[in-house]
Copies of this chain bind each other. A is one copy, B any other.
Amino acid sequence: MNATEIIHIIGTAAFALSGYLVGVRKRLDMLGVMITAMLTAIGGGMMRDAIVGRIPLVFTQNTAWAVIGITLLLAWGFKLQNTRKRELAAVFLWADSLGLAAFTITGAQAGLALDVNIFGVVMLGFITAVGGGIVRDVLVNDIPMILRKDFYGTVSVIIGLALYGLDKLGWVNPFTLNLLLFGGYVLRLWAHRVAWRLPKF
């Protein structure tokens, strides 16, 4: 398994967990929680595949499904639904930030492989990363997170630009990819902590 595949698994698990937590918070029934977890985990990738015109990878590969299933079993087994609300919010933040960073990387790499321009690379990373979250938020009637505070979408764009730059320099390898994953994850958590807001008009 190469670095991209591992990062994809990490992102899938992280987003499955974040979707699960949203489902619990919204008091959905068991199927609603599973759907929310699943859509958050595969939604972005399916959007990306639909946009570039190919059959979704999750229809021909079983990895993501195994990862989602295992994640949900673990979450349920650890009785995450009985955790206090404040701790749930913290776990959600970590999971969602990790998924954001991971899926930006794998999505942007798909763009690099297709030889699109810098906007395409950044957008494919962005869509793969926030797509699942948008579907999840819209379905449960929340305003999607990318339009609220905390630099959510900006982090994805920054990671995408960084990967594009690394590719132009020929510096894409497992080490830099993992560095980018860790860096993006930390950046997102830091932006949330500092509560850094872009200036309003």
Cβ-based interface call for A175 (8 A): no
Contact B149 A144 (CB under 8 A): no
Q: Give every chain B residue within 8 A of A163 (Cβ-Cβ).
A: none
CA distance A32 to B201 in the complex (A): 11
Chain A interface residue count, CB cutoff 8 Å, equals 53
Q: Give every chain B residue within 8 A of A52 (Cβ-Cβ).
A: 55
The stretch from A95-103, A133-141, A181-189 touching chain B is A133-141
Contact A51 B49 (CB under 8 A): yes
CA distance A46 to B29 in the complex (A): 28
Q: Give every chain B residue within 8 A of A111 (Cβ-Cβ).
A: 59
CA distance A149 to B29 in the complex (A): 7
**A interface, CB within 8 angstroms of B:** 24, 27-33, 35-36, 46, 49-56, 58-62, 65, 81, 111, 114, 116-117, 119-120, 123-124, 134, 138-141, 143-144, 146-149, 151, 153-154, 197-201
